Amino acid sequence: MQDVDLLIEASWVLPIEPAGALLENHAVAVDSGRIVDIVAGDEADNRFRARSRTRLGGQILIPGLVNLHTHAAMSLFRGLADDLHLMDWLSKHIWPAEGKHVSEQFIYDGTLLACAEMLRCGITCFNDMYFFPEQAGRAALDAGMRAALGIVVIEFPTPYASDAQDYLRKGLAARDEMKNEALLSFCMAPHAPYTVSDASFEQVATLAEQLQLPVHMHVHEIEHEIQEHIKQHGVRPLERLRRLGLLGPELIAVHAVHLDEVEIALLASQGCSVAHCPASNLKLASGFARVGDMLDAGINVGVGTDGAASNNRLDIIEELRLAALVSKAVSGDAQTLPAHSALRMATLNGAKALGLDHNIGSIEPGKSADMISVNLANKVELSPCYDPMSHLLYAAGREHVTNVWVQGKEVVRGGQLTTVDPQELISKAQSWQRRISAGDNVKTAGISE
């Protein structure tokens, strides 16, 4: 009999790998923050002696969700300027607000607020693109959450840095400082083709190769962006990125709404990933990404929320439902993006895009114990339950997430956060609201897409 730290028994275990598997009445053994084994429930007592035991009757245990694209600290801009076109929203509201208010304290407070929201939704890892990554990392660590932090590159000055070289210098310094933190990783994060020069892109490509880092970037979000890029550079953005050596397995193309057949084939042939953000695409009227065609072509597609300023929720469960429904409508095929494929997008696909699939994204022996449980029993809105995987996608919501573990540590228990004080977060958010509202042209009185 083997001693372990934790034994989690659930009515269902969805390991994600192998594809389509759903294990009924199984237990997951965890020791030193890692998954030891998955066994049938009636074998658990014969195999393991656990120091702690969690029984999840009527619940499904799945890998922690991966938010493949967000600007976490922008939770403090939630609802600041809604119902606007993308470029008006950015240039007239978001970028000016960032210029006035972004600071180290803003990033820490906003990221910690975002972490609390994401953990309550079952997100255990987020891929961030924003300023002061060391403060975002500190907030993630304080929340007990996994984060991939962006080394931002943009040509114009902000409160964080003065030019592209300054962004790189500060971002690389943050990586050097925090690279040994087990819950943190880093990405190169050039903002977008329309805000980054050829010289900066070439430097990003070199650094990504040298440091073995993903490249996280907005690509082909709106048609206007593409047409303006053609006027300036003579080619569509993706072709320019190809010429500059940015296409490859390290690329995470965010949004990728406006792709033609050749571009879909190009991304697939180069092994690129896409971060699909359906709610943000809909809210900013960016268009409908061809997710079904991307998956059919073999592109690794994950899912992201984008920032709370353009969503306005950091809720991957809702994103998955939107992704599945919209993809069916766009393709004209009700079988596009079925439940297991969608859940794989939000777990193992996201982990793969970040180069973390060896460690997270599925419930397998040897991997980190990043897992969540969702209650599918004794709820009027979830009764009856014929197919737990289908229920996760089409019926359940973040309010049904009960427990969350990151590296075997329980950061949400019974729906309640264990690492941060929600009331303190709310108080800080209200303080920032008063400051921002007093100084901005908010409708009710950058670096995001």
Nearest to residue 243, comparing CAs of 200, 280, 273, 198? 198
Query: Which pLDDT tens digit goes with each residue over 382-391?
Result: 999 999 999 9
DSSP structure string for 379-413:
-GGG-S-S-HHHHHHHT--GGGEEEEEETTEEEEE
Domains, the chain, with CATH or none: 2-63+363-416 (2.30.40.10), 67-337 (3.20.20.140)
pLDDT at 85: 81
* Residue 439 in this model has a pLDDT that exceeds 80: no
* pLDDT > 90? residue 210: yes
CB atoms within 10 A of CB 414: 9
pLDDT beyond 60 at 449: no
What would the pLDDT profile of 125-184 be if each residue is shown by its tens digit?
A: 999 999 999 999 999 999 999 999 999 999 999 999 999 999 999 999 999 999 999 999
156 in Cβ contact with 193 (< 8 Å): no
Peptide bond into 18 cis (omega under 30): yes
Sheet strands (E) in 14-159: 23-31, 34-40, 48-63, 65-70, 123-128, 146-153
What are φ and ψ of residue 299, in 5° steps?
-75, 140
Q: For residues 99 and 101, what is the distance between their CA atoms, to the nearest angstrom?
A: 6
Taking only the tens place, the pLDDT of each residue in 90-138 is 888 888 999 999 999 999 999 999 999 999 999 999 999 999 999 999 9
Which pTM was predicted?
Answer: 0.96
CA-closest candidate to residue 122, choices 66, 82, 203: 66
Local confidence band at 443 (pLDDT 50, 70, 90 cut-offs): very low
